[in-house]
Amino acid sequence: MIPIPAVNIASLAQRHRARVLALAGEDGLMVATSAPNVVYCSGYRSMGYDTDPAQRMAAVFTGDEWILVGPMADLWAAQEAAGSGLRYFGYRTFFFDDAEARDTTDTRVVSFATYEEALAAAIAALAGARRALAIEGPPPAMLPAGLAVLPPEDTAALFRRARTIKDADEIALLRYATRETENALAAALAQARAGVSELDLAAEISAWMIRTGIRPGFIAVTSGPRAAFADAHAAPRRLAPGDLLRIDIGGSFQGYWSDTARSAVVGEPSAEIRGVDAAIVAGQRAALALVGPGARSDVLFRATVEAVRAAGLPHYRRHHVGHGLGLDSHEYPTLGPENPVTLEPGMVVNIEAPYYRPGWGGIMYEDTLVITEDGTDRLTRLDAGLVILPA
């Protein structure tokens, strides 16, 4: 286990709001409504996002003030994350026995019947003389007079651009999440052998993550023919000699995601398995050698696929060879053949060139890197290449 980074999440969110406004125009009125962007701008991640698909929250902000809109049930947890000075416009009745703990005359906390009413009130409270509103999704029906709404695609682009470049605190959170997720994967590989089940290994991974403060997200532990199942849950199936084992896992720490993968084989691999693995490793290494500031995503994609083909899989196909990582496990940019993106310092990307063959199995390696001014800072440390497990 490694030390937990000392990051002031409320201060980080304040910098994020300033960054978004710098891109939008300092006199703008911004409203984040998607879960990752609310976390980005408020520092608060509601558990409701995990338990209620209909959970609705918003971070409404200008250069001077901000208001968090959310269920009244979230009030105390939100104040813990954002500070007691938080302005909170809540909705939906929830009963706390907090008569002595909270000043019920505090005008920073206001309750409304519905989310729509709370959001409209928050916008009105901060609109002032502003004439432009950037909001994710449809605005509430009642808006202050004269407030023009930016096209939603422009608002989405603002938040995407702001989140694409990570600062030192965000990279520290991503490094922690990645390292401990990789430690969880290594702990599972140390337990893996013939007779151990996929569920046993998934439990080891989940336990490690939880002990280190990471919320397990996806735990794909697949073996034998199931190793060809992309993004599949672990099953009771037990490992047998000759099986491939593909582990692709990720979780989040204070909202920031990890995503890493490694492969293994039970006992000595066959010549075919060795050949396929060599081709996939060649693609992974080609991508790692090319990624860096100034690299173009489409060039990176072609070089990776061509390296796999040249190394022994001539019909290899992929739709992308990597993606951004941050408050989403898959975020901008996508490293694919279309819509080329030039990589910049501060971006965090994952590199992958997996192989899936139904009825046979799959092999996958995935690495996380920070793009720096003069190269990359690789957050993952395990080498690509099959781990040989006891038969």
Query: What is the CATH classification number for the domain harbouring 80?
Result: 3.40.350.10
User: Are both 283 and 189 inside the same structural domain?
Assistant: yes
Is residue 133 within 8 Å of 139, Cβ to Cβ?
yes
Q: Quick one: pLDDT at residue 99?
A: 59
pLDDT in tens, the chain (391 residues): 889 999 999 999 999 999 999 999 877 899 999 999 999 999 999 999 888 878 899 999 999 899 999 999 999 999 999 987 899 999 998 888 865 666 655 678 999 999 999 999 999 999 988 888 999 988 888 888 888 899 999 999 999 999 999 999 999 999 999 999 999 999 999 999 999 999 999 999 999 999 999 999 999 999 999 999 999 999 999 999 999 999 999 999 999 999 999 999 999 999 999 999 999 999 999 999 999 999 999 999 999 999 999 999 999 999 999 999 999 999 999 999 999 999 999 999 999 999 999 999 999 999 999 999 999 999 999 999 999 999 9
On whether residue 327 sits in a domain, the answer given is yes
Cα–Cα dist 41/63, whole Å: 12
367 Cβ neighbours under 8 A, 6+ residues apart? 260, 284, 288, 350, 351, 352, 378, 379, 380, 384
Q: Quick one: pLDDT at residue 28?
A: 84
User: Are both 141 and 176 inside the same structural domain?
Assistant: no
User: Are both 149 and 265 inside the same structural domain?
Assistant: no
Q: Which residue in 214, 216, 158, 193 sits closest to 22, CA to CA?
A: 158
User: Are both 96 and 198 inside the same structural domain?
Assistant: no
Domain stops at, among 132, 164, 196: 164
On whether residue 3 sits in a domain, the answer given is no
User: Are both 175 and 233 inside the same structural domain?
Assistant: yes
Q: Quick one: pLDDT at residue 77?
A: 95
Q: Quick one: pLDDT at residue 85?
A: 84
On whether residue 2 sits in a domain, the answer given is no
Domain that holds residue 264: 168-389
Q: Quick one: pLDDT at residue 378?
A: 98
Cα–Cα dist 388/174, whole Å: 29
Cα–Cα dist 118/108, whole Å: 13
User: Are both 94 and 119 inside the same structural domain?
Assistant: yes
On whether residue 298 sits in a domain, the answer given is yes
**Helix, strand, coil % in the chain, rounded to nearest 5:** 35, 25, 40
User: Are both 153 and 47 inside the same structural domain?
Assistant: yes
Q: Quick one: pLDDT at residue 17?
A: 97
User: Are both 367 and 279 inside the same structural domain?
Assistant: yes
Is residue 360 within 8 Å of 225, Cβ to Cβ?
yes
On whether residue 150 sits in a domain, the answer given is yes
User: Are both 101 and 198 inside the same structural domain?
Assistant: no
User: Are both 232 and 365 inside the same structural domain?
Assistant: yes
What are the CA-CA distances from residue 91 to residues 37, 41, 72 (Å)? 20, 20, 5
Q: Quick one: pLDDT at residue 100?
A: 61
User: Are both 129 and 47 inside the same structural domain?
Assistant: yes
How many domains are contained in the chain? Answer: 2
DSSP state of 331: E
On whether residue 221 sits in a domain, the answer given is yes
Q: Which residue in 333, 366, 346 sits closest to 293, CA to CA?
A: 346
Query: What is the CATH classification number for the domain harbouring 329?
Result: 3.90.230.10
Domain stops at, among 164, 196, 227: 164
On whether residue 246 sits in a domain, the answer given is yes
User: Are both 97 and 26 inside the same structural domain?
Assistant: yes
Cα–Cα dist 239/194, whole Å: 5
Domain stops at, among 135, 164, 193: 164
On whether residue 119 sits in a domain, the answer given is yes
